[in-house]
Amino acid sequence: MSLVANTGKLAGRTLFITGASRGIGKAIALKAAKDGANVVVAAKTAEPHPKLPGTIYTAAEEIEALGGKALPCIVDVRDEKQIQKAIDEAVKKFNGIDILVNNASAISLTGTAETDMKRYDLMHNINTRGTFLASKLCLPLLKESNHAHILNLSPPLNMNPYWFSLHVAYTMAKYGMSMCVLGMSEEFRQFNIGVNALWPKTAIATAAIEMLTGDTSSSRKPEIVSDAAYVMLSKDPKSYTGKFEIDEDVVKSVGINDLTPYACDPKNANNLLLDGFLDDPASLLHHQQTVSSASVRRYHTTSANYKDKSEPSGQIPELFSVINKTITPELVKKTQAVFQFNVKGKEEGIWHLDLKNGDGACGQGEPKHAPDATLTMDSSNFADMFAGKLKPTTAFMMGKLKIKGDMQKAMKLEKMMKSLKAKV
């Protein structure tokens, strides 16, 4: 379900897309095909996979059925000769390359002890080295184009140590792709080549995810990523470069505000599984609560937010760090209340949220101004409450939350949390 209209800006352009036989890579290819673009389908799958649909040849057929032109090429991005051969064939058939999409990737969400070196090498050779190599080999042709783009499907560089701790090998491999964006965007600026990154806000339903989990009901369709990619690749590369974009933000920037059609299950449109690497309260809490269960961990990233080692650790300090960024004068004006949180249990401590005075404030310790409401609860319930899994009213009625002071202002927390979540 594509919501972004095709404008024809990619008509006649040649895209070299790695990993384009299925999933997000193929979705980007099909979106470009509607403009009449040429697509080099550079992927390993020449023979049908026993469990995953799609080959370079079936993808090529779909591209041409939509009005594009396709060149299926067997390419393992670890093999320099295979990439070069595909580039040479693209030059023969399409007279050049305008756009490189580095989509091919390998994933293993394992800790250090559980990551065997064969898998480590695979991730680094495909993700980081493959991206670097494809960019290097396409560079001479991109220099000749008047609409040259490199788009990496990789996360914004987020220096929060938490995301490294979960699967340091995978994080390093994906961040390698992002560092290519950081460096090459500046290096290639003189050649008018736009180099950018794109990453999904939520889990994306691909055949691989479906095979691994058996469930895509809490995911979005690949079309939200391909729509975002289309918007990015249609921009002027001379001025649009060095960006780390999130799919949801990109499609919203062109007026797509109702994202429900992108949801695999419209009933879950407001309860989707968030991708990793996002310093978002719900995302952080979801992943922290499921870190021990590999079967439900599926991640990805967002922008730089380095947390100094001297800062308190734990999910509640992390949560308040994020909330602090979302406080606005409008939120203060709407709420007009000071809250004190007496947290018990594993992360015992006192925290405050002042949405009444000045520009608002939050952090550890008692508030500077007298609290309108003091809420006492266990740290695990507190986390659930701010993740949207436990409503304050429900928590109060279940005895999980004790409230002292102005009850009405305390119950404003529900509206406030919705507002915070929308602005994160």
What is the rounded average pLDDT for all residues in the chain? 86
- Average pLDDT of the segment spanning 252-273: 93
Which tokens is 46 given? 């020449």
Which tokens is 159 given? 């220096």
Consecutive H or E run containing 356? none
Highest mean pLDDT among 242-246, 325-329, 389-393, 409-413: 242-246
Task: Determine which of 148-152, 161-165, 198-202, 276-280 has the lowest per-residue pLDDT on average.
Answer: 276-280
Closest C-alpha among 270, 295, 253, 130 to residue 202:
270
| pLDDT of the residue at 384 | 77
Question: Beta strand 69-74 with 402-405: parallel, antiparallel or unpaired?
Answer: unpaired
* Contact criterion met (CB below 8 Å) for 100 and 134: yes
**What is the Cα 159 distance to its own chain's centre?**
15
* Contact criterion met (CB below 8 Å) for 56 and 73: yes
> Which residues, including other chains, have CB under 8 Å from residue 263's CB and lie 6 or more apart?
219, 220, 221, 269, 272
More confident residue, 153 or 165: 153
**Exposed (0-12), middle (13-18) or buried (19+): which is 387, by Cβ within 10 Å?**
buried
Residues designated catalytic: 170
Please check the confidence at residue 423 and state whether its pLDDT lies above 50: no
Sheet of strand 361-364, all strands in order from the earlier edge strand to the far edge: 361-364, 349-355, 337-344, 373-378, 402-405
| pLDDT of the residue at 291 | 39
Per residue in 45-91, pLDDT tens? 888 877 777 899 999 999 999 999 999 999 999 999 999 999 999 99
Task: Determine which of 54-63, 97-106, 153-162, 297-306 has the lowest per-residue pLDDT on average.
Answer: 297-306
Closest C-alpha among 307, 301, 309 to residue 278:
301
Task: Determine which of 4-8, 62-66, 187-191, 369-373 has the lowest per-residue pLDDT on average.
Answer: 369-373
Which tokens is 73 given? 């090429």
| pLDDT of the residue at 283 | 53
How many angstroms separate the CA atoms of 177 and 181, rounded?
7
Per residue in 285-324, pLDDT tens? 555 544 333 333 333 332 223 333 334 457 788 788 778 8
* Contact criterion met (CB below 8 Å) for 232 and 250: yes
| pLDDT of the residue at 211 | 60
Closest C-alpha among 276, 289, 252 to residue 382:
289
| pLDDT of the residue at 225 | 98
SS3 398: coil
Which tokens is 325 given? 């960024």
